[in-house]
Amino acid sequence: QVQLVESGGGLVQAGGSLRLSCAASGRAFSSYTMGWFRQVPGNEREFVAVISSSGGVTYYADSVKGRFTISRDNAKNTVSLQMNSLKPEDTAVYYCAADRTITKVRSATALYWGQGTRVTVSS
């Protein structure tokens, strides 16, 4: 069992930056692939980024590539999403997800999800 709690959301102007964090509790965090998704009301949950259990492999959605960076600290059981050059279209609720494989996380079928943190980017 893994519990995930996101933090770091807020209101920021376009062009600004935010850093989201996801704290995980439970066993064997370092064995889980971690990911970030986002969702706008009325839309499906959208893949943002994923990082392998060791941190050595990352993938990003085309819409955030070059602006967002996912990282993890297995000693602190945290995964982060550094978001730079934010755009109004990045406005969404951001969710942290965890599962054993990149495929499971990227396909939004991950076993564990956090409650989300809201990000609002004003123009």
Of the chain, the percentage scoring pLDDT greater than 70 comes to 100
Report d(CA 22, CA 5) in Å as an integer: 5
Q: Is the pLDDT of residue 27 over 80?
A: no
Decide: residue 117, CB within 10 A, 0-12 exposed, 13-18 middle, 19+ buried: buried
Question: For the segment 97-106, what is each residue's pLDDT rounded down to a tens digit?
Answer: 999 999 999 9
Q: Show Cβ contacts of residue 74 under 8 Å, excluding neighbours closer than 6 positions.
A: 29, 30, 55
Question: For the segment 28-41, what is each residue's pLDDT rounded down to a tens digit?
Answer: 899 999 999 999 99
Measured in degrees and rounded to the nearest 5, phi and psi for residue 43 equal -110, 165
Question: For the segment 84-120, what is each residue's pLDDT rounded down to a tens digit?
Answer: 999 999 999 999 999 999 999 998 888 899 999 999 9
